[in-house]
Amino acid sequence: MSISFDQKMWVAGEWLEAEETIEVFDPGTNECIAVVPSATAEDMNRALSSAEQGAKVAEKLSVHDRMDILHKVADDLEKNKEEFATIIATEGSKTINEARGEAARTAETIRISAEEARRLNGETISFDQSPGNKNRFGYYFRFPVGVVAAITPFNDPLNLVAHKIGPAIAAGNAVILKPAAYTPLSALRLTKSFIDAGLPKHVLNTVTGRGREIGNPLVESPSVRMVSFTGGLSTGEAIAKKAGLKKLAMELGSNSPVLVFDDANVEAAAEACVSGAFAAAGQNCLGVQRIYVQSKSHDEFKKIVIQKTSELKTGNKMEESTDVGPLITEKEAERVEDWIQEAVEHGAQIVAGGKRRGTFLEPTVLVNVPPHATIAQEEVFGPVVLLDTFQTYDEAIKKANNVNFGLQAGIFTSDVNLAVQATRDLHVGGVMVNDSTDFRVDAMPFGGVKGSGIGREGVRASIEEMSEPRVVCFNIDQP
């Protein structure tokens, strides 16, 4: 499949070009595969005006209409899975097999959005529970917030877009989508799916461009009633300061820990951790970054991890046998390489991988990393995992919690009581028992604490975030 070189953005019900363009590169070959419009603030203001109209249309769509549109989009995703997968793999870092998995998940995300639309219910309220209110009765129902600004990252360029558009439309909102400048093609193709499915004009605007040009007009606009952002912590903090009084949902990454206790299945834990650390070249907010293994199992676990890591094949994303693709840019690969070197300079050792070639970085395992090293404290967002040991439960929990992130954690143990206790003591949004941190189903509430963000995604949770309760009370005079 060839990608159309000249792309347009969807603004105010039209496919539009712009005077300036952004080149989209395949990070594996550094080949320019397409150009997209580089929108201006004026373009964004036009999208905002369009979305204001779209919000009035969207809220009047019946639940049946919303469901019908979403099901048609899911049908298109399933019918054209290979096309979507090729776009994902070409513009981004994922291998073709990983991209196929994302395309399939996206169809499921949209399908769940359609199903959850029918469950956007309220409930009755017993107003007569208070003295003097026996003639009052009522209920609450949920109504859409209006215009949702959706800002998405490069690492899951299709499914994370679906996680914002799907619930927003299911709840009756209009959406302005600003996809990552590195990977806009997946978002534009999904936009076409929505248009072809009969989504009314103005309900969705997809604006391609650079954040420095169009970000502020979007998040600062009083027309926008909610900002849903997935990206880095510093950008999230900047958006929060600029957004003003509106709803915010932010997933800002992590530095995810896994605890492996002596009573665990060591080989299964090691296999899960290697997969969780190096999928999508480590560019995954749920990726395993720190592994703490109880002392008796540490040497065996380390041996298996090194072996399984060395067996991974890094290279051409489009080859079926490739396990690990490139990082999104050479600058990102250089940053991760610098963090590895900084750790080594402070006493860490590389026991697997560590070599970089352009945008490709070998899957890397580090040991003896000091806790103050950048790579131990920040989100690496690359194919690197840190291996450490612990003696006691309390030590393990303390090490796991010792970062300013808390998205998900993993724990491997056969002791149910210990696992239950850890779910209470780990400062994260999700605990995966006998799984790596890299586990998620698209229906579950998803989000974190501390620097990992605010609010929850996952289809049903997002629909609730993207709607508001309205109370209705009747005072009926009785004879």
Q: How many Å apart are CA 284 and CA 46, to the nearest integer?
A: 33
Residue 194 near residue 186, CB atoms below 8 Å: no
Token pair listed for 225 = 């009633």
Task: Specify the pairing of strand 247-251 against strand 453-454.
Answer: antiparallel
How would you label 394-421 residue by residue, b for 16+ Cβ within 10 Å and e otherwise?
eebbebbbebebbbbbbbbbeeeeebee
Q: How many Å apart are CA 99 and CA 453, to the nearest integer?
A: 26
The per-residue pLDDT for 205 is 98
Grouping H, G, I as helix, E, B as strand and the rest as coil, residue 153 is coil
Neighbouring CB atoms inside 10 A of 227's CB total 25
Neighbouring CB atoms inside 10 A of 466's CB total 28
Q: How many Å apart are CA 21 and CA 12, to the nearest integer?
A: 19
Grouping H, G, I as helix, E, B as strand and the rest as coil, residue 255 is coil
Domains and CATH numbers, the chain: 9-252+453-471 (3.40.605.10), 256-442 (3.40.309.10)
Query: Residues in the chain, how many?
Result: 479
Nearest residue to 36 via CA among 210, 297, 155, 201: 210
Catalytic residues: 251, 285
In a 10 Å sphere around its CB, with 0-12 CB exposed, 13-18 middle and 19+ buried, how is residue 235 labelled? middle
Mean pLDDT by 10 residues, the chain (479 residues): 81 96 97 97 98 98 98 98 98 98 98 97 95 94 98 98 98 98 98 98 97 96 98 96 96 97 98 97 97 98 98 97 98 98 98 97 98 97 98 98 98 98 98 97 96 96 97 86
The per-residue pLDDT for 374 is 98
pTM of the model: 0.95
Which residue blocks in 118-180 are alpha helix, DSSP H? 159-170
Token pair listed for 238 = 């900047």
Residue 274 near residue 323, CB atoms below 8 Å: no
Chain centroid, CA 107 distance in Å: 16
Which residue blocks in 155-210 are alpha helix, DSSP H? 159-170, 185-196
List CB contacts of 305: < 8 A, sequence separation 6 or more. 270, 273, 274, 291, 352, 365, 385, 387
Q: How many Å apart are CA 260 and CA 269, to the nearest integer?
A: 7
List CB contacts of 272: < 8 A, sequence separation 6 or more. 410, 412, 435, 436
Residue 12 near residue 43, CB atoms below 8 Å: no
Residue 158 near residue 103, CB atoms below 8 Å: yes
Q: How many Å apart are CA 311 and CA 227, to the nearest integer?
A: 42
User: Position 170: which residue type?
Assistant: A
Residue 17 near residue 43, CB atoms below 8 Å: no
Grouping H, G, I as helix, E, B as strand and the rest as coil, residue 448 is coil
